[in-house]
Amino acid sequence: MASNIVVPEVGESIVDARIAKWLRHEGDVVAAGDPLVELETDKIDLEVSAPQAGVLSRISRQDGEDVKVGEVLGVIEEAAAGKAAKPAGPGAGEGAKAAAPAPEANRQVSASQQAPAQRQAAQASAPAKGPRATPTARKAAEEHEVDLSSVRGTGDAGRVMRRDVEHAARGTDTAQPAAVTSPAVEPPAAKPAPPVAEKPRAAAGDRTEERVRMSKRRATIARRLVEVQSTAAMLTTFNEVDMSSVMSLRERHKQAFKDRHGVGLGIASFFVKASIGALRAFPRINAEIQGDEMVLKHYFDIGVAVGASEGLVVPVLRDADRLDFAGIEGQIRSFAGKAEDGTLSLADLKGGTFTITNGGVFGSLLSTPILNPPQVAILGLHKIQQRPVAVDGQVVVRPMMYVALTYDHRIVDGSEAVQFLVRVKSLVEDPGALLLD
């Protein structure tokens, strides 16, 4: 009985995907649940697994093609009893012949003569299972020319993550996975690593160009950024925050905080808490526009922008007002790791009522962030820099940060936006007030 491999329904907001890479070939024998193909969507990357055991008899759509949810990618047929798998390489045909029942006259062949043929037949019929790895790990392995089978995975159930590949490429992790042997199958001899070919360098003055197709996520980001600029009345207001109190508090408590909670105390949690306090005072900044109506949201799902190799993503802190500092820092750290490894789920990214983005981690001193629709405001944080400021008539040097609030002027008035930012500033400059807010 044949079974179709189809593009799964990931979420109501995802209707299409792009085939990143087939992990198996036509004729390969697969077990139920084996990963077959990697798909890219505008939000997450995912693997499609075999719905049943059998033979991958047909691949209908190729790498790089765009497909819709429910569309057939290929077909798996049940393997007939006694049906041999697709030959895996040279010598497989002879192995298959040797594995077939021999005539009575040839049954006196010694066991030592039969063993090599039986091993070849077993290797030919065994499915070629590669190590479990995330899509970003496979891409990193191709970039660094690293053999995934030699990389020890640190993810769930030994899954190879991007960081594992990068460690292997730098030679900082030389641990090899334990060899798994079977009485009927002898592991093949290790092949020497192929020589690494140096990429040709462009000659001085050589006007070269390279055409690279956008990933599904990057193309969606580009489209949505253009859409929001043409549909929202965006305006940005600025202020600056004296980070002295936060920096002093972190310095006094960072070790005790880490010992107790197992995570470092960053500045993000202070701004998440301060933003929630300001959103309570100015609820229209925690809203969205639907037609002629404003939807005021009385819960606080705060999106935290995270930069990843495939583009910016905004995972969401659900009910952030119910999280303490340790909970906020722990979730942000988890999101950053998932973003780099390509393991963020749709649930991590869905929704959000307000977004915080921090360009300061890349050295940005000042910027005008773009709205994350359908939200109507986004807070931009920037680099902390020692600057001379006037305090009580005296010029002193303080760690200062410029902050920016971009908002949709259709429902947020300028006075609201300015007062919101002043409220954030006052709460961050007096962290004790966060406990009373």
For the segment 57-107, what is each residue's pLDDT rounded down to a tens digit?
Answer: 888 888 888 888 888 888 888 876 444 444 444 444 444 444 444 444 444
b/e map 215-240, b = 16+ CB within 10 Å: bbbbbbbeeeeeebeeebebeebeeb
Percent of the chain with pLDDT over 70: 77
Q: Residue 419: phi, psi to the nearest 5? A: -65, -35
126/34 Cα distance (integer angstroms): 13
Q: Using the predicted structure, report yes or no on whether residue 111 has a pLDDT greater than 50.
A: no
Q: Answer for the pair 257, 326: CB distance below 8 angstroms, yes or no.
A: yes
Is pLDDT of 293 > 80? yes
From 2-16, 81-95, 319-333, the region with the lowest mean pLDDT: 81-95
Q: Which residues are catalytic?
A: 409, 413
Cα gap 192→41, rounded to integer Å = 37
- pLDDT given at position 217: 74
- Give the model's pLDDT for residue 265: 92
**Do residues 30 and 54 lie in contact, with contact meaning Cβ atoms separated by under 8 Å?**
yes
CA atoms lying within 13 Å on the CB side of residue 389: 15
- pLDDT above 70 (res 272): yes
Distance CA 240, CA 429 (A): 10
Q: Which amino acid is present at 181?
A: T
Q: Domain 1-79+117-129: which topology?
A: OB fold (Dihydrolipoamide Acetyltransferase, E2P) (2.40.50)
Half-sphere CA count of 204, side-chain side, radius 13 A: 0
Q: Mean pLDDT throughout 133-150? A: 77
Secondary-structure percent of the chain, ordered helix, strand, coil, rounded to 5: 35, 25, 40
- What is the pLDDT, as a whole number, of residue 321? 95
Which pLDDT does position 308 carry in this prediction?
73
Check: CB of residue 64 under 8 Å from CB of residue 38. Answer: no
Mean pLDDT, residues 101-123 = 42
pLDDT higher than threshold 80 for residue 373: yes
CA–CA separation, 50 and 56 (whole Å): 9
pLDDT digits 0-9 by tens, 253-269: 989 999 999 999 999 99
What DSSP string runs through 194-260?
PPPPPPPPPPTT-------PPPHHHHHHHHHHHHHHHHS-EEEEEEEEE-HHHHHHHHHHHHHHHHH
Query: What SS3 class is residue 108?
Result: coil
* Phi, psi dihedral angles at 32 (to 5 degrees): -60, 130
The percent of residues in the chain predicted with pLDDT above 90, rounded, is 39
Q: Which alpha helices (H) appear in 65-134, and where do they start and end?
A: 92-99, 111-125
Q: Are 228 and 373 in contact (CB under 8 A)?
A: yes
Distances (CA, A) of 398 to 20, 253, 358, 380, 381: 49, 20, 20, 20, 17
DSSP code of residue 375:
B
pLDDT higher at 138 or 347: 347
**CATH code linked to domain 234-436:** 3.30.559.10
Phi, psi of 97 (to 5 degrees): -65, -40
Please report the pLDDT score of residue 97 as a whole number.
42
- Ordered by start, the domain boundaries in the chain are 1-79+117-129, 135-179, 234-436
How confident is the model over 349-354, as a mean pLDDT? 91
When mean pLDDT is compared across 90-99, 233-242, 251-260, 418-427, the lowest value belongs to 90-99
Residue 108 has pLDDT above 60, yes or no: no
127 has a pLDDT exceeding 70: no
Global pTM reads: 0.65
Q: Say which CATH topology domain 135-179 has.
A: Dihydrolipoamide Transferase (4.10.320)
**R_g (Cα) of the chain, nearest Å:** 28
* pLDDT for residue 388: 96
At residue 13 the predicted structure's pLDDT band, cuts being 50, 70 and 90, is low
Mean residue pLDDT of the chain comes to: 80
383: number of Cβ within 10 Å: 16
Buried b (16+ CB within 10 A) or exposed e, 129-139: eebbbbbbbbb
Pick the more confident residue, 204 or 149: 149
